[in-house]
Every structure is written in structure tokens, then in C-alpha cells.
Chains A and B, each alone.
Chain A
Amino acid sequence: MKKKIGNQTIIFPSKPCVIGFYTVGGIKEGKGNLQEYLDFILEDDNFGEKTFEKAERKILEETMTKAIEKSKLKPEDIDMLVGGDLLNQIVASSFSAREFNTSFLGLYGACSTMAESIAVGACLIDGQFFKNVLCSTGSHFSSAERQYRFPLELGNQRPPCSQWTVTGAGSTVLSDKGSKIRVVSSTFGKVTDYGIKDVNNMGAAMAPAAMSSFVAHFEATNTKPSDYDLILTGDLGKLGSEIFIDLMENKNYKMGANYSDCGHMFFKNNQKTFQGASGSGCSAMVLNSYVFKQMQKGKFKRVLFGATGALLSTTSSQQGDSIPGICHVVEFEGGHE
């Protein structure tokens, strides 16, 4: 049976199931719009650790362990870990993986990692190579500031067009059976670069990538935006999602009230994050808290989730390179549990 439709889109006839999911959020994140949906909110952004990087790792590990618990599996039942994060050499993920006696595939898709790991995980299950795959990613505001911008100790101000890298993580357990929330299809994104160079305006750099992947997905599956109960883009932020809506309109796709952006919806307006949330934890937390919980209740039946990533490094932007973007789209379906 042919599973590839169109140039970038694949369908999963076995429809891998989402059997467990868990999120942890930082203090500020816990005061935002996801408050009632997050599974655990930290009282201390360091999570009892000495450094931000160690805290990021512990947060990620916590979501991995608890997601397995929630799926009612034992850690040894998981046969593959898939995931990544924003730290150099994705150390949060690979160091977390040493706590599990399981194969590990490290991915780097910047903030698109959640969608990328679910798409890869669903391939592994649909291909009957693996039975239970744990997909996870996270980020930490303070370690991301240190790595990508300036260390917090410098006391730098954030410019008004910047987004807030969230502290938190989300994990999803995929399996060949056991739940009504299922992965139906996915579109692997192309790297898209419109020449944006401003590292404080990543939404504008990623919006064309999101447009490219969503158009590819709609064309391949022969659907339109109104066919879905919810369409989410990754963390384009306020400005980026407005650009995305315009770009989609140019392609004759009208994004309606069912469209939202993870970065834009994450924080409340009075939280002073300027353009909204970002970071690989952002879309991971929205998906594994709000989206899956609402799907369990039957509020959303068909969801299109496209996490976006800015594939820059500090060196590439210091050397004057533009910011390439990517967006992976995953389609879920589900009903009452």
C-alpha cells in the first residue's frame, strides 16, 4: 500500500495512538492561559537544581517518566525514545535518555521538535518496527537566554519584537493501540528561507515555512482549513501568525476562527512577553495539555498541528546569515475516551 501522498505528506493507515502525555511548566508559564491544563507547575524555575541547564534536563525527565506512568506502561515497555531540545548538542534530551534503558533517536528541529518527533515516532510504529515510542521535548527560558542571546546575569533588556522562550516540557507516548486520539498523517517540512536576518523576529522568519508545509498538507490530503476543528501553528507569535494568515490568503486558503498559534495563545496579555511564547517547550506544552485534553473530552475531533522551528545558530547569525525556517505538520483525530 502506498503511504506517501503528494511530495512531502505520508499517511499512517494503522493510525498510531496517543496513549499518554504529560506537561510540566515554569512559574510564569503556570500563570498563563494554559494554567488549568498543565499537569504540574514548578514553584522554582531551577526545580531544585544548581544550574538552568540541569533544571531543563530534570523537567524533561519528569515529563518522560510521568507520561509513561499515565500511559499505564512500564518504562521497559517503551522501545524507542525520540526527541530533542534547544541546548547545544541537545544535551537535555540525550542526558535524560541515559536514565532509560531504551534506544534513543536525537532530533534537532528547534521549536518544531514536538511535531517532528511525533511524525518520526508514528512512522516507526506504523512501519511495525517499534510498539511504544516516547516523544518529548522541552526548553528553559534562562538556558535559552544564555545560549542564544545574553546570560541573565548581564541584566539585558528584551526588545519589544522578541518572544519569550518558555520553561517547560511535554512528552507523548505513542503506541500501536490503546487510545482514541490517533495520528493520521503528517507532512515533513522543507527548509524555507525568505532572507530574514533579525534574530529577534523569528516569527517572520518561520511564517513562510509554516505556509509551505500547510499548503502541501492541504493539497496532498485534499482538505481545506474549515475541515478541521483546530489548526495550530508552532510558535510564530503575534506578528508571525499575522504574517502566516496573509501568506495563506495569498495561496487562497482562508484561516478562520479555528486557527490559533501556540506562541500567541500561551501567555496572557499582561504578562509582558511582547510577541508571545516560543521555545520547543511551547508547542509541546500546548499539544500535550490543552489540545489532547480537549480531544479526550471530545471538543476537538480533527486537529492539524504544525510546529515551526528557526534553524539558526548563534554563529550563523553573528556571521550575517539569514534565518532558515521549517515546519512539520501532524494531523490527529480523536473522540471521547
Chain B
Amino acid sequence: MLLMYVKVFLVGGFICMLGQILIIKTKMTSARILVSFVVAGAILEGLGLYEPLINFAAAGATVPITGFGRNLAKGVIDAIKEKSALGIFSGGLTATAAGVAASVIFAYIFALIFSSKSKNTK
């Protein structure tokens, strides 16, 4: 049980650390880093490399944005098996529908509750 927490922390933390290095060492904007993480997750899933990572670290691999890319790819692969070529278009969104809808709904709710403030006023 405790070992699982350690594995989740290490793998999730490592993925986030890659993002932090990109922010500090390159001129990439956060949007580009985000998109490349999604694409990287999709490619790794396509090559069959992301599944073992999830088996090893569970949420440590599914929660970072690379997990979203993995879901897109996995959705497409599964849908192709079911509905052949049509699955290329429907699979990705079907698999990620819950995540996308949840982010829209929560973003809306929190935008209603809170207003933006200046950051770091120290």
C-alpha cells in the first residue's frame, strides 16, 4: 500500500519535473509544453509503452496531462476494433468525454464563485 504511494509520487513527480525543466531551460510557452505532453502520451500509448507505466504507477501516470493523450490514443485503438475506420474519428472523444465535460463544468462553476486576483503581492 505505502509502496504504491511512493511509486505514484515518483512517476507523477518525474513527469511534472520534465515540464518544469522545459519552462526553465527552453523558450517554450506553457501551451506548447502542454500540447507536446498530450502528443507524447498518445505516441507512447500507440507504441504500447504507456500501459506498463500505468500498471506500475497508476494515478502517477494517468493524472498528468500525458494520461489524457494516452486516453485519446487508447480510445481510438479500441474504437477501431469495434467500428473499424469510423473509430479513428469517434474513439478519442468518446474515451475522453468525461474528462473534457468535467473540466468545462468545473471551470464554469469556479469562474462563477471566484474572481481573479493579482498574484504574489509579497
Alpha-carbon gap, A198 to B28, bound state (A): 11
With a CB–CB cut-off of 8 A, which chain B residues contact A45?
Answer: 117-118, 121
B24 with A26: CB separation less than 8 A? no
Alpha-carbon gap, A27 to B120, bound state (A): 10
- Shortest Cβ gap from A145 to chain B (Å): 9
Question: With a CB–CB cut-off of 8 A, which chain B residues contact A142?
Answer: 116, 118-119
| B-chain residues with CB within 8 Å of residue A156 when the two chains form the complex | 30
* Cβ of B32 under 8 Å from chain A: no
B residues in contact with A54, CB < 8 Å: none
Nearest CB in chain B to that of A29: its residue: B121
Is B118's CB under 8 angstroms from A141's CB?
yes
Which residues, 273 to 288 on A, are CB-close (under 8 Å) to B?
A: none
Alpha-carbon separation in the docked complex, A198 to B29 (Å): 11
Contacts of A320 in B (CB 8 A): none
- Please tell me which one of the listed residues A26, A153, A154, A200 contacts residue B121 in the complex, with CB atoms under 8 A apart: A26
Q: Are B118 and A159 in contact (CB under 8 A)?
A: no
| Inter-chain contacts of B121 with A (CB < 8 A) | 26-28, 45
Residues on the B chain within 8 Å of A28, using CB: 118, 120-122
Q: Which of B42-75 contact A (CB under 8 A)?
A: none
Q: Is B23 an interface residue (CB 8 A)?
A: yes
The docked-state distance in angstroms from the alpha carbon of A272 to that of B120 is: 9
Shortest CB distance B37–A (Å): 15
User: 8 Å CB contacts to A: which residues of B15-50?
Assistant: 23-24, 27, 29-30
Residues of chain B lying within 8 A (CB to CB) of residue A157: 23, 30
Pick the residue among A31, A52, A198 that contacts B122 (CB under 8 A): A31
Residues of A within 8 A of B24 (CB): 159-160
Complexed CA–CA distance, A45 and B121 (Å): 9
Contacts of B120 in A (CB 8 A): 28, 272
Give the shortest distance, in Å, between A160 (CB) and chain B (any CB).
6
A150 within 8 A of B: yes
Interchain CA distance A142-B116 in the complex, whole Å = 9
Whole-angstrom CA separation of A278 from B122 in the bound complex: 17
Q: In the complex, are the beta carbons of A27 and B30 less than 8 A apart?
A: no
Check if B23 sits within 8 Å of A152, measured CB to CB: no
Task: Determine whether the beta carbon of B30 is less than 8 Å from that of A200.
Answer: no
Closest A residue to B114 by CB, please name it: A153
B122→A272 contact, CB < 8 A: yes
User: From residue 25 to 66 of chain A, which have CB atoms closer than 8 A to chain B?
Assistant: 26-28, 31, 45-46, 50, 52
Instruction: For B27, list chain A residues within 8 Å (CB).
Output: 159, 198, 200
A219 to chain B, nearest CB (A): 37
A152 and B119 contacting across the interface, CB-CB below 8 Å: yes
Residues 100-118 (chain B) with a chain A CB within 8 angstroms = 115-118
Chain A residues closer than 8 Å to B29, beta-carbon distance: 150
CB-CB nearest in chain B for A140: B118
Q: Mark A154-183, 1 if CB is under 8 A from B, else 0.
A: 101101100000010000000000000000
Q: 6 tightest A-B contacts by CB? A: A45-B118, A27-B121, A28-B121, A142-B118, A156-B30, A153-B116
What residues of chain B have their CB less than 8 Å away from a CB belonging to chain A?
Answer: 23-24, 27, 29-30, 115-122
Give me 4 other A-B pairs in contact (C-beta within 8 A), A45-B117, A46-B117, A271-B122 excluded: A28-B120, A28-B122, A46-B118, A50-B115
9 A-B pairs in the complex with CB atoms less than 8 angstroms apart: A28-B120, A45-B118, A52-B118, A151-B116, A152-B116, A152-B119, A157-B23, A159-B24, A272-B120
